[in-house]
Amino acid sequence: MSGWAVVLGASAGTGAAVATHVARDPGLHVFGVHRGRYVEGAHAVEAEVRAAGREVVMRTADAGTAEGAEQGADALLAAAGKRSVRLVVHSIASASVGRLVHGERTVVPRQVEKTFDAMAHSFLYWTQALVARELLAPGAQILGLTNPLSESTLHNSGLIAAAKGALEMYVRHLAMELGPMGHRVNLLKFGTVVTPALRHVFDEGAMRRVEAVHARMIPAGRMVTLEEVAAFVAVLCKPAGAWFNGATIDFTGGMTQHLLDLVMYPEAGGGALW
């Protein structure tokens, strides 16, 4: 498959894994954007994309604003040309955590605006900028990423959950608007994956606890890997994925489905009925 993948947040975590995977399969060139906090990660992605025989442009800029989207799309047009983009993955993680009302870390308007800009509105701004420049190839897949916070609450994560809710609505409406042009807009939902950012937040002991909790929550008994997420994104941008549109695709491995079991039968690891 020829064409370009646009990966917003390409220097670390999910974005980096997707960028390197889609360069190998289905063989897309990569236009990545990041702000420069993971320079080594960005270099590693560039090297892997080139090793796969594909072109790579790694832009260091803020992709989480309307201006960032306009300028990024101009740079993309100059590098790739019209109707060249087959896949867009919005993998920006930049959010404030804290309580909504009570406690010392109550989120303030500046944090609310920044989180919504980076995690939700920028998905819309990039889509608008790409469409305005006719950058999307026929059948292009535009993908947002989300997590199970939409169906279960997690302490201090109300703002992220709210931004993900907005992202989901953008996905649905953009899917209706862009569907007649042949494009697809979807949201991929997956559970916690181990990324450099997560390792930064949790020490080794905490990471072991995170893994143990997920092993209980997910019927397969383990967390999903970045490579598994990236491999599924590669499927989505091929013709086999073309019938998904406006969908929130559950790739959580059943992560939240037996939370009630876990609460009711903790001593049996949530497995009393199964």
Ligand X SMILES: NC(=O)c1ccc[n+]([C@@H]2O[C@H](COP(=O)([O-])OP(=O)(O)OC[C@H]3O[C@@H](n4cnc5c(N)ncnc54)[C@H](OP(=O)(O)O)[C@@H]3O)[C@@H](O)[C@H]2O)c1
Q: Please report how close the Cβ of residue 100 comes to ligand X at its closest, in angstroms.
A: 18
Which one among 141, 195, 245, 248 touches ligand X, defined by CB under 6 A?
195
Least distance (Å) from ligand X to the CB of residue 110? 15
Cβ closest to ligand X, residue 84 vs residue 91: 91
Q: Which of residues 70-129 bind ligand X (CB under 6 A)?
A: 91-94, 118
Segment lying near ligand X (by CB under 6 A), choices 190-198, 203-211, 213-221, 262-270 = 190-198
Residue list 137-166, contact with ligand X (CB under 6 A): 145-147
Look at residues 115, 142, 150, 126 and name the one whose alpha carbon lies nearest to residue 61: 126
Identify which of residues 124 and 193 has a Cβ nearer to ligand X in the complex. Answer: 193
Cβ distance to ligand X smaller for residue 91 or 248: 91
- Binding residues for ligand X, per CB under 6 A? 8-15, 33-38, 62-64, 91-94, 118, 145-147, 190, 192-193, 195-198
